[in-house]
Amino acid sequence: MIRGGKSVERHLCERCARQSSLAPSVPPGTSAASAIIAQAIVESGAPDAERGGPVACPACGLALSQFRNEGTLGCPGCYDAFAHKLNSLLERAHEGGTHHTGKVPKRLARERDPRRAGDGGGSGGAGASPQQIVIGLEERKRRIASIQKQLEDAVLAEQYERAAELRDELRRLAPGDEGAAGGGGAGA
Amino acid sequence: MNEAGGPLPLEQVRRGAAWLCQRGDDHDVVVSTRIRLARNLAGLPFNARANQEQRRAVIELVRGAIERSELPGARGVPPQITWSELHRLAPLDRTLLMERHLISKEHAKLPNDGSAGPRAVAISMPDEGLSIMVNEEDHLRMQVLGGGRSLESAWARADAVDDQLEAALDYAYSPRFGYLTACPTNVGCGVRMSVMLHLPGLRLTGELEKVKRAARDMTLAVRGFYGEGSDAVGDLFQISNQTTLGKAEGDILRELDKQILPEVIEYERASRRLLIERRTKMLEDQVFRALGTLRYARLLAPEEALTTLSMVRLGVLTGLIADLDEVQVTQLFVLSQPAHLQRVLGRELDQQQRREARAEFLRQRLTPAAGGEARA
């Protein structure tokens, strides 16, 4: 296929290939990302085990082989777990794109630079930044309990601003569990 | 936020979607615009791998976030948000929502064996311009719908809704990969921007394949009326971006709105002009045969309804048909669908009955009353 005057290869998942009436070059029954993944691994020249890197995601247990069959990942943590395998797949699926250059959640932008009132600017940089990618349900419960305790202490110590911040944090994690701090929201 | 019994009030169902009722920009070719954002919550598996407890947790978290947010409405009017848990809706109502493009085919499917997880949708009323699906392939799929070519205003609204929800939720996001999605083909911006185009001119002049190929060469997906896996019945095509990583949302919007759309729109208009000027009889034949079928048939299957409606719409837009209104004709694409027919007529119908009902419904809607005005 020609694009911008140069010959470019496009790899389509089976669903897209079917829609564009191009005959898929993989046998039917092979799932969406399967062809792309298989190709990426073949071209990397070595089977999973030899390349190193996990064969399963430590957060949700999804095996790489399962991903190959189903075409979808198991949890946010899979992106880190399978990062090295995903590189070539993403490059093919996104026409060479490998890094996010779009919108940033306002809260992350504020945490990185508290002076900025969340203009959402800046792309993902190389520096360390708070990544809340994986928190299990158990840990979520622990965090909720911990924040509740801190909230009570702050109220007792009359640190109302801190209490308000903690209450907001609590609301984000557990909307049903607010204490006396006026629940119910701005009505939609 | 109202818990809906049936998802939409009957009068609203009869009227058709608000966003289809207006003549948007370039409405002669661009029927509608849709922008969809995919988001997931941190700390939980993606929907396919989540267990029932986790899926319910997602529903509760998102519902709470929506209740606490001030979601922007259409034209500055704060909307009412209705919340529907899909397993509580009758199958007919789920199909109704799908026909109105408020939920996807996937989201509407609920096999009876109870294996499908709990899922919900929040819809802004009465504009129906915003719908937020919960527990589709991703935890959240919010979409903004608008009439005509309205990518910029749709993006402004989607962006604002995203900001509101993000403030009340923990999104799964990484600086390297962007917004994390169940399928890597959506990761990054997680945005699908699409327009629905009516291209009967290009089909009749035989140039449709050329345009489809050109769109695909620019990494745009071309799909039929009901999205992935559907055919281009009724000469309706969706064009949307395919890639979401390595580009910013503004780039995706610009590519679609400023590079692709103006060309496709002009191609379609040029082919219509060609038909009017040089193939008049062929055009008239197509249009009036279709109108004849719709005014006299006694049985009509959905596909034939869409192909004939397409020709009637073309007839109205090229001035061949003077006594019908373009917006009303466009509404009929949706109102003649199976679930809409049954809800509007107020009873369940089997396939044969639907074919009969569809024919009668369209006959009434497309035949001007004795006073010379088309019935509303």
Chain A residue with CA closest to B241: the answer is: A94
Whole-number Cα distances in Å, A173 to A93, B58, B141: 34, 11, 20
| Cα of A157 to nearest chain B Cα, Å | 27
Between residues B185 and A34, the one the model is more confident about: B185
> What is the pLDDT confidence band of residue B316, given thresholds at 50, 70 and 90?
very high
H-run or E-run covering B162: helix B151-168
> What is the pLDDT confidence band of residue B177, given thresholds at 50, 70 and 90?
very high
Chain B residue with CA closest to A136: the answer is: B43
Whole-structure pTM value: 0.77
| B359, pLDDT greater than 90 | yes
A30-44, B131-145, B177-191, range with the lowest pLDDT: A30-44
B chain contacts of residue A176, beta-carbon cutoff 8 Å: 60, 64
| B14, pLDDT greater than 80 | yes
| Cα of A114 to nearest chain B Cα, Å | 16
| Distant-in-sequence contacts of B270-274, Cβ < 8 A, 24+ apart | B270/B201, B271/B201, B271/B202, B271/B204, B271/B205, B271/B207, B272/B201, B272/B314, B272/B317, B272/B318, B274/B201, B274/B205
| Cα of B172 to nearest chain A Cα, Å | 6
- In single-letter form, the type of residue at position A144 comes to I
B chain contacts of residue A70, beta-carbon cutoff 8 Å: 48
> What is the pLDDT confidence band of residue B354, given thresholds at 50, 70 and 90?
very high
CB within 8 Å: B65 and A175 = yes
CB within 8 Å: B42 and A133 = yes
Residue B323, pLDDT score: 92
CB within 8 Å: B248 and A101 = yes
Chain A residue with CA closest to B49: the answer is: A74
Closest CA to B226 of A108, A19, A165: A19
Query: Out of B65, B183, B188, whose CB is closest to A72?
Result: B183
Residue B211, pLDDT score: 80
> What is the pLDDT confidence band of residue B45, given thresholds at 50, 70 and 90?
very high
Best mutation target among A67, A70, A87, A94 (most B Cβ atoms within 10 Å) is A94
Relative to beta strand B173-174, strand A6-7 is: unpaired
Residue B6, pLDDT score: 73
**Both ends of chain A: CA-CA distance in Å?**
49
| Mean pLDDT, rounded, for B328-348 | 92
Per-residue model confidence as pLDDT tens digits over B286-296: 999 999 999 99
Beta strands per DSSP E along chain B: 2-3, 30-39, 80-85, 120-125, 130-134, 140-147, 173-174, 178-179, 191-198, 220-223, 236-241
> What is the pLDDT confidence band of residue B224, given thresholds at 50, 70 and 90?
low
Chain B residue with CA closest to A128: the answer is: B175
A98-112, B140-154, B207-221, range with the lowest pLDDT: B207-221
Residue B286, pLDDT score: 97
Residues whose CB is less than 8 angstroms from the CB of residue B14 and which lie 6 or more positions away in sequence, other chains included: B335, B344
Show the tokens assigned to B85.
């848990």
| B226, pLDDT greater than 80 | no
| Cα of A115 to nearest chain B Cα, Å | 18
| Cα of B87 to nearest chain A Cα, Å | 22
| Cα of B182 to nearest chain A Cα, Å | 5
- Low-confidence spans in chain A with pLDDT less than 70: 1-53, 110-140, 174-188
A chain contacts of residue B77, beta-carbon cutoff 8 Å: none
Show the tokens assigned to A118.
């969340």
Q: Is B350 helix (H, G, I), strand (E, B) or coil?
A: coil
Residue A53, pLDDT score: 65
Q: How far is C-alpha B60 from the geometric centre of its chain's CA atoms?
A: 27
CB within 8 Å: A176 and B64 = yes
Between residues B115 and B47, the one the model is more confident about: B47
| Mean pLDDT, rounded, for B332-342 | 93
| Residue B127 and residue B35 in contact, taking contact as beta carbons nearer than 8 Å | no
The whole-chain average pLDDT of chain B stands at: 89
| B141, pLDDT greater than 90 | yes
Chain A residue with CA closest to B62: the answer is: A175
> What is the pLDDT confidence band of residue B368, given thresholds at 50, 70 and 90?
confident
B chain contacts of residue A76, beta-carbon cutoff 8 Å: 40, 42-43, 46, 172, 174, 180
Q: How many CB atoms lie within 10 A of CB B189?
A: 28
Residue A118, pLDDT score: 38
Per-residue model confidence as pLDDT tens digits over B259-282: 889 999 999 999 999 999 999 999
Residue A171, pLDDT score: 77
Residue A136, pLDDT score: 53
CB within 8 Å: A16 and B46 = no
A chain contacts of residue B64, beta-carbon cutoff 8 Å: 171, 175-176
B chain contacts of residue A107, beta-carbon cutoff 8 Å: 166-167
DSSP 8-class letter at B6: S
Percent of chain A exceeding pLDDT 70 equals: 47
Best mutation target among A100, A110, A112, A141 (most B Cβ atoms within 10 Å) is A100
d(CA B345, CA B347): 6
**Both ends of chain B: CA-CA distance in Å?**
31
Residue A117, pLDDT score: 41
| Mean pLDDT, rounded, for B310-318 | 97
Residue B42, pLDDT score: 93
| Residue B348 and residue B92 in contact, taking contact as beta carbons nearer than 8 Å | yes
| Mean pLDDT, rounded, for B368-375 | 52
Chain B residue with CA closest to A14: the answer is: B229
Residue B325, pLDDT score: 92
CB within 8 Å: B248 and A62 = no
Best mutation target among B176, B192, B252 (most A Cβ atoms within 10 Å) is B176
Chain A residue with CA closest to B244: the answer is: A94
State the complex-level ipTM.
0.85
> What is the pLDDT confidence band of residue B1, given thresholds at 50, 70 and 90?
low
Query: Out of A120, A123, A131, whose CB is closest to B174?
Result: A131
| Mean pLDDT, rounded, for B168-196 | 95
Residue A36, pLDDT score: 52
Give me the residues paired with residue B201 across strands: none
Per-residue model confidence as pLDDT tens digits over B85-109: 998 899 999 999 999 999 998 898 8
DSSP symbols for B222-287: EEBTTBTT---GGGEEEEEE---SSS-HHHHHHIIIIIIHHHHHHHHHHHHHHHHHH-HHHHHHHH
A127-136, B29-38, B115-124, range with the lowest pLDDT: A127-136
Residue A121, pLDDT score: 36
| Residue B109 and residue B98 in contact, taking contact as beta carbons nearer than 8 Å | no
Query: Out of A76, A89, A107, whose CB is closest to B172?
Result: A76
| Cα of A163 to nearest chain B Cα, Å | 17
| Cα of B53 to nearest chain A Cα, Å | 10
Chain A residue with CA closest to B209: the answer is: A20
Phi-psi group of B269: left, alpha or beta (phi > 0 → left; psi -120 to 50 → alpha; rest → beta): alpha
CB within 8 Å: A94 and B246 = yes
Chain A residue with CA closest to B53: the answer is: A137
